[in-house]
């Protein structure tokens, strides 16, 4: 009888619970489920946003099929205007054999101030067989004032901005034009060009 009494007491406790207790637990469980679903959705949106941002970054970088050599977004197809037919022919004639490399660049790059654009007139002529990029350094401090990414043959960069906030003045510089083999993507040589950077204000 004692065992029966204990069981009976437990049943009474169970039957004495409020009728709405089970519904309250269901509501709590539903709220927890909604929170978990919202957190999961937020996590998915963050992952999707990160992936989309990375995709956009890749799409806005121009690269060749090997994905190892980046081309400059400022590079334009064609030739710079302003050369006479005789000057163009002289450049073409200078590339007379396999392995020679010829670039065209302004001897003087003028900037209204350190934050404005100036023209360097860098051109990788169509007759070249190599990619190229350029690094411009001050002769006195060796500071890098400008560095491009790659240009294909038949592309040019005209307007650029300096990396350094220079006071007004004339600066003797060296433009290091690096030639890169389009198949191996190895740097195969360079041309040193003396130029002057002038900042007017």
Q: What is the CATH number of the domain that holds 172?
A: 2.60.40.2550
What is the number of domains present in the chain?
A: 2
In this prediction, residue 110 carries a pLDDT of: 95
Shortest CA distance to 120 belongs to which of 72, 168, 187, 63?
72
Q: Please report whether residue 79 resides in a domain.
A: yes
Report the C-alpha gap between 102 and 29 in whole angstroms: 74
Q: pTM of the predicted model, to two decimals?
A: 0.58
**Alpha helices (runs of H) in the chain, residue ranges in sequence order:** 2-15, 21-59, 85-94
Q: What percent of the chain has pLDDT over 70?
A: 61
The more confidently predicted of residues 126 and 58 is 126
In this prediction, residue 53 carries a pLDDT of: 59
In this prediction, residue 58 carries a pLDDT of: 47
- The stretch 26-45 carries a mean pLDDT of 75
- The stretch 151-172 carries a mean pLDDT of 94
Residue 121 φ then ψ, to 5°: 60, 40
Q: Structural domain of residue 132, as residue ranges?
A: 70-199
Residues 39 and 91 occupy one common structural domain:
no
Q: Please report whether residue 65 resides in a domain.
A: no
Residues paired with residue 177 on neighbouring β-strands, in sequence order: 134, 191
């Amino acid at each position: 009888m004692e065992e029966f009494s204990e069981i009976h007491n437990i049943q009474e406790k169970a039957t004495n619970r409020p009728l709405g207790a089970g519904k309250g637990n269901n509501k709590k469980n539903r709220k927890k489920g909604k929170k978990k679903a919202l957190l999961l959705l937020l996590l998915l949106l963050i992952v999707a946003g990160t992936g989309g941002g990375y995709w956009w970054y890749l799409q806005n970088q121009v690269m060749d099929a090997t994905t190892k050599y980046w081309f400059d977004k400022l590079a334009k197809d064609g030739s710079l205007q302003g050369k006479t037919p005789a000057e163009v022919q002289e450049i073409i004639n200078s590339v007379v054999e396999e392995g020679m490399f010829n670039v065209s660049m302004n001897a003087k790059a003028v900037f209204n101030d350190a934050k404005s654009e100036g023209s360097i007139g860098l051109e990788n002529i169509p007759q070249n067989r190599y990619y190229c990029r350029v690094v411009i350094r001050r002769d006195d401090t060796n500071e890098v004032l400008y560095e491009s990414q790659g240009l294909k043959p038949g592309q040019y960069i005209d307007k650029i901005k300096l990396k350094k906030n220079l006071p007004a003045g004339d600066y003797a510089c060296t433009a290091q034009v690096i030639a890169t083999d389009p198949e191996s993507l190895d740097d195969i040589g360079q041309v040193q060009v003396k130029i002057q950077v002038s900042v007017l204000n």
